[in-house]
């Protein structure tokens, strides 16, 4: 029994170490670069403030927030350039290429594009993307690039607090209290530290139960089931009779039906699923 407990404890410890390592490798990189001003639209002070705002809002909304500016997309569309950039830099809040939203300011075409990945696709519906783009382009068209970036960060983060609903057509409607609580609980499940904490609690509980059971002494030994210090061995033989087979028809896969919430998506760079939208300024 003691050996069994030790084996189980060793396995649980190994799993916890692996989970912690996975969390460290795939969790949110708050120290990573969030603003890539290749077009030189922002001052160094503005970039510093935007970096801090991206991290602050990312930790609140649990999606990676990225801003990219460029003078040339090298022949790519704004959508393709944004998606390739996202994949090449391994963005994502929960894991590589995971939950995140990237805004590209393409000065070559004077176009803004927002690419969404992972859980952000569900929360940033087409209507919400349009509202964000409208808020951003109204700033960019007058040369207020910093204000446009702030508008992207704030509106995106605000939308990530509740799922879109039928009352959200204008982009500002709130779901019911129950719906909001449900969406927050769903987002909580994506937090790796929470998952790790639950796993640790379960592991400790299992070990405690096993140790409590081990306190009782064993009252059975090698002679408990012997009669007059002798034992009999009964010989048993299994006789093969026949083989029977039962066939079950494989159920056909049901067609997936789209929900009322979430934005449209497509297969983008590297086969990864992206959502998003954009507009001119």
Q: How far is CA 271 from CA 88, 117, 122, 224, 274, in A?
A: 13, 12, 18, 65, 9
- The two beta strands, 64-70 and 100-106, are parallel
The per-residue pLDDT for range 197-230, each reduced to its tens digit, is 666 676 667 666 666 666 556 666 666 666 666 6
- The two beta strands, 265-267 and 111-117, are unpaired
Query: What is the predicted pLDDT for the residue at 188?
Result: 46
d(CA 95, CA 225): 57
d(CA 116, CA 129): 9
pTM, entire model: 0.60
Closest CA to 33 of 98, 84, 118, 90: 90
The per-residue pLDDT for range 148-186, each reduced to its tens digit, is 999 999 999 999 999 987 555 444 444 433 344 344 444
Contacts of 279 (CB under 8 A, 6+ apart): 111, 112, 130, 133, 134, 137
What would you report as the CA-atom Rg of the chain, rounded to the nearest whole angstrom?
28
Contacts of 82 (CB under 8 A, 6+ apart): 68, 102, 103, 104, 113, 114, 115, 276
Residue with tokens 């060793």: 10
Residue 10, pLDDT > 70, answer no
b/e map 8-36, b = 16+ CB within 10 Å:
eeeebeeeeeebeeebeebbbbeeeebbb
Helices and strands of the chain, counted as H and E runs:
8, 6
Q: What is the CATH number of domain 33-174+268-280?
A: 3.10.310.50
The per-residue pLDDT for range 255-278, each reduced to its tens digit, is 333 333 456 766 766 678 899 999
In the chain, domain spans:
33-174+268-280
């Amino acid at each position: 029994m003691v050996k069994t407990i030790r084996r189980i404890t060793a396995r649980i410890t190994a799993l916890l170490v692996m989970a912690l390592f996975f969390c460290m490798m795939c969790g949110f990189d708050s120290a990573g670069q969030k603003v890539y001003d290749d077009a030189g639209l922002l001052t160094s002070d503005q970039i510093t403030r935007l970096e801090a705002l991206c991290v602050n809002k990312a930790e609140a909304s649990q999606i990676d927030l990225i801003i990219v500016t460029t003078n040339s997309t090298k022949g790519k569309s704004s959508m393709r350039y944004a998606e390739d950039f996202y994949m090449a830099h391994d963005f994502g809040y929960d894991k590589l290429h995971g939950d995140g939203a990237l805004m590209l300011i393409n000065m070559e075409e004077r176009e803004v594009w927002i690419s969404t990945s992972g859980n952000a696709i569900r929360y940033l519906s087409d209507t919400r993307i349009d509202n964000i783009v409208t808020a951003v382009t109204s700033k960019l068209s007058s040369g207020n690039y910093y204000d446009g970036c702030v508008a992207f960060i704030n509106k995106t983060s605000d939308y990530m607090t509740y799922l879109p609903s039928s009352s959200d057509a204008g982009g500002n409607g709130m779901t019911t209290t129950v719906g909001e609580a449900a969406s927050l609980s769903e987002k909580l499940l994506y937090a790796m530290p929470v998952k790790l904490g639950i796993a640790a609690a379960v592991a400790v509980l299992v070990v405690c139960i096993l140790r409590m059971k081990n306190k009782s002494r064993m009252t059975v030994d090698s002679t408990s089931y012997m009669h007059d210090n002798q034992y009999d061995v009964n010989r048993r033989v299994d006789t093969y009779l026949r083989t029977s087979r039962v066939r079950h028809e494989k159920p056909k896969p049901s067609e997936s039906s789209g929900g009322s919430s979430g934005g449209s998506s497509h297969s983008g760079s590297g086969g990864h699923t992206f959502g998003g939208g954009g507009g001119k300024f």
